[in-house]
Amino acid sequence: MSDSETVPGAAAREAPGSAPALPQEALEIASGYAFAGPALDLGALIWDGHCLPDARIRIPLSVLNRHGLVAGATGTGKTKTLQLIAEQLSAQGVPVFLADVKGDLSGISEPGTANDRVRSRTAEVHQQWTPTGFPTEFYALGGAGHGIPLRATVTSFGPLLLSKVLRLNPTQEQSLALIFHYADTKGLELVDLKDLRAVVAFLTSDEGKQELKGIGGLSAATAGVILRSLTAFEAQGMTDFFGEPEFDTGALLRRADDGRGVVSVLELPAVQGEPRLFSTFLMWLLADLFHDLPEVGDADRPKLVFFFDEAHLLFDDASEAFLESITRTVRLIRSKGVGVFFVTQSPKDVPADVLGQLGNRVQHALRAFTPDDQEALKATVRTFPESAYDLEEILTGLGTGEAVVTVLSERGAPTPVAAVRLRAPESLMGPVDGAALDRAVRESRLHARYAQAVDRESAYEKLTGTRAARGEETASAEPRGARTPRGRRHEGEEPSVVEQVMDSGVFKSLARSVGTQLGREITRSLFGTARRRR
């Protein structure tokens, strides 16, 4: 085939300026993306500095549960790439989860606005652009924002994830796991942080120490560190993220009435100062999905595609056990129909064991201003298959909205590396007005279920006796001694959790029991996350 031949079926059109006919190398790249089944259209091939609009670069829908990576320096267009992929997934009936770190992904719910930049891009890639909004549900961690409050109970969050949030070392992490095990077996629900503090306070008392002798014990020093970490965490205003009603992650798998996948946007600007919290909370969502979803094997399309933004925060200072659990979750959740895309600045941010499982790559431009940047660039190039491009040169020369791509073909083999000029999103490229967000949230079917926090009887109330006896029906379903009448407080300062627990005799019967029905029903999965059986 001569250099003058073009892509089969392509017109002899060229980008404005000058563009020679496709050479052999470009033809081979383009043919690697000619998939037969449904696929997402990323954009047009770039070769020798020219955009070749009829050489389409695509991702098969069936391989999106093989996970992926979207990487690139700040300002290179990663957010718009997420928006572009999410739109097309929704249009093909696949639900999407997006973590909106900067607050500019809410626009996916509204039709886009044509301007000179949009018109120029769509002309370059021969895109039939139609302004379109997509069905969207807005969430906020603990209600810190406009969205529907998204909460988890401490029991279901588990010791491994909570240790990451509290910055505990491996020894303290093991001790926290022991506390959770004890609470599970004794039927003490850890709904919020005060429940956990009450259990820790009891287990450091003389009576509690006796209970722990048979399962390893808990040093006073370690318990003190855990209590101080909890206190500091609460002082930062983090208490609202733990509690009830707990979010049912099954809501992320919904389709709209018109068959399009619902795009779930978790707004995070209000908690940007607590990156460990939101990155770990995202991992809880993923682990909870893994815990609940059945095996489906390979399907023609994923059940959900989950975009994990600012992924480097998840791996920073992570314990060996934490990293192992991430690796196992990513490896195994594929067979449950969930695809995970990690979004970060450099592939080096993702551990090798996880990076090796990410079959689809969209790499935006990298900078090489410093020796560290240059080393990161070389490391990134080594993670790609053999290429017809000089990747070091092209990765530093890509413009905004351009990327280097390799994905898995329909038979699971890597496609040739392709430089791509990406299509323009059809939804609004920017944030939605706050009033419009509030209105959308109020009109959601989930609002009534999750808007109002509930503080029911759990470990704290049982241990401190601060909750009045409930009705006869509730009492008959609980073990004797599970509650005491509301304690009367003296005027002045409220006693500490430790004092309240030490003054309460209610735990004596609980501690001697073999475990309640709740304790027997709790099972823990990867990350030690748990739910009561539904």
Rounded average pLDDT over 509-528: 48
Rounded average pLDDT over 249-256: 96
Can you tell me whether residue 244 is helix, strand or coil? strand
Question: Using N-to-C axis directions, what is the helix angle for 159-166 and 170-185, rounded to 10°?
Answer: 140
Q: What is the DSSP string of 341-406?
A: EEEES-GGGS-HHHHTT--EEEE-----SSHHHHHHHHHHHHTSPP-SS-HHHHHHH--TTEEEEE
Rounded average pLDDT over 267-278: 78
Query: Do the domain assignments include residue 369?
Result: yes
Please report the pLDDT score of residue 26 as a whole number.
87
Least reliable range by pLDDT among 29-38, 135-144, 155-164, 205-214: 205-214
Rounded average pLDDT over 42-66: 94
169 and 126 fall within a common domain: no
Please report the pLDDT score of residue 522 as a whole number.
58
Which carries the bigger pLDDT value, residue 264 or residue 178? 264
Please report the pLDDT score of residue 512 as a whole number.
38
Please report the pLDDT score of residue 324 as a whole number.
87
CA atoms within 13 A on the CB side of 98: 36
138 neighbors 267 (Cβ within 8 angstroms): yes
Least reliable range by pLDDT among 62-66, 153-157, 497-501: 497-501
Please report the pLDDT score of residue 9 as a whole number.
31
Structure confidence at residue 337 as a pLDDT band (50, 70, 90): very high
Structure confidence at residue 380 as a pLDDT band (50, 70, 90): very high
Least reliable range by pLDDT among 38-52, 86-100, 366-380: 366-380
Least reliable range by pLDDT among 187-196, 395-404, 429-438, 463-472: 463-472
Query: Do the domain assignments include residue 4?
Result: no
Quick check: 217 pLDDT over 50?
Answer: yes
Quick check: 485 pLDDT over 60?
Answer: no
Rounded average pLDDT over 17-32: 75
Query: Do the domain assignments include residue 6?
Result: no
Lookup: tokens for 159: 């010791």
410 neighbors 60 (Cβ within 8 angstroms): yes
Share of the chain above pLDDT 70, in %: 82
Share of the chain above pLDDT 90, in %: 53
Please report the pLDDT score of residue 134 as a whole number.
98
Quick check: 2 pLDDT over 50?
Answer: no
Please report the pLDDT score of residue 528 as a whole number.
65
Query: pLDDT tens for residues 307-317?
Result: 988 888 888 87
Query: Do the domain assignments include residue 15?
Result: no
Rounded average pLDDT over 475-490: 41
Please report the pLDDT score of residue 483 as a whole number.
38
171 and 117 fall within a common domain: no
Please report the pLDDT score of residue 298 as a whole number.
78
Lookup: tokens for 343: 């979004």
Query: Do the domain assignments include residue 27?
Result: no
Structure confidence at residue 377 as a pLDDT band (50, 70, 90): very high
Structure confidence at residue 274 as a pLDDT band (50, 70, 90): confident
Lookup: tokens for 275: 């990156």
Quick check: 243 pLDDT over 90?
Answer: yes
Query: pLDDT tens for residues 320-335?
Result: 888 888 898 899 999 9
Which carries the bigger pLDDT value, residue 481 or residue 443? 443
Please report the pLDDT score of residue 431 as a whole number.
92
Determine the distance from the C-alpha atom of residue 421 to the mean position of all C-alpha atoms in its chain, rounded to a whole number. Answer: 27
pTM over 0.85: no
Please report the pLDDT score of residue 215 as a whole number.
64
Rounded average pLDDT over 42-49: 94
> Total domain count for the chain?
2
330 and 461 fall within a common domain: no
423 and 348 fall within a common domain: yes
167 and 301 fall within a common domain: no
Which structural domain range is residue 201 located in?
A: 154-242+456-468+494-531
Query: Do the domain assignments include residue 251?
Result: no
CATH code where residue 371 lies: 3.40.50.300
Query: pLDDT tens for residues 105-129?
Result: 999 999 999 999 999 999 999 999 9
Within a 10 A sphere around the Cβ of 279, how many other Cβ atoms? 24
Quick check: 510 pLDDT over 70?
Answer: no
Please report the pLDDT score of residue 526 as a whole number.
61
Helix or strand holding residue 263 (H, E): strand 263-267
Please report the pLDDT score of residue 202 as a whole number.
86
Query: pLDDT tens for residues 142-200?
Result: 888 899 999 999 999 999 999 988 989 988 999 999 899 889 888 889 999 999 999 99
Q: Using CA atoms, how far apart are residues 20 and 519, in angstroms rounded to an integer?
A: 71
73 and 161 fall within a common domain: no
239 neighbors 193 (Cβ within 8 angstroms): yes
415 and 463 fall within a common domain: no
Rounded average pLDDT over 260-285: 86
414 and 519 fall within a common domain: no
Structure confidence at residue 531 as a pLDDT band (50, 70, 90): low
220 and 269 fall within a common domain: no
Please report the pLDDT score of residue 319 as a whole number.
78
Query: Do the domain assignments include residue 74?
Result: yes
Please report the pLDDT score of residue 180 as a whole number.
92
304 and 404 fall within a common domain: yes
Structure confidence at residue 104 as a pLDDT band (50, 70, 90): confident
Structure confidence at residue 464 as a pLDDT band (50, 70, 90): confident
> What burial letters (b/e) apply to 329-362, b meaning 16+ CB within 10 Å?
bbeebbbbbbbbbbbbbbbbbbeeebbebbbbbb
Mean pLDDT of the chain: 83
56 and 109 fall within a common domain: yes
Query: Do the domain assignments include residue 236?
Result: yes
Structure confidence at residue 495 as a pLDDT band (50, 70, 90): low
Quick check: 419 pLDDT over 90?
Answer: yes
292 and 433 fall within a common domain: yes
Least reliable range by pLDDT among 109-123, 392-406, 485-499: 485-499
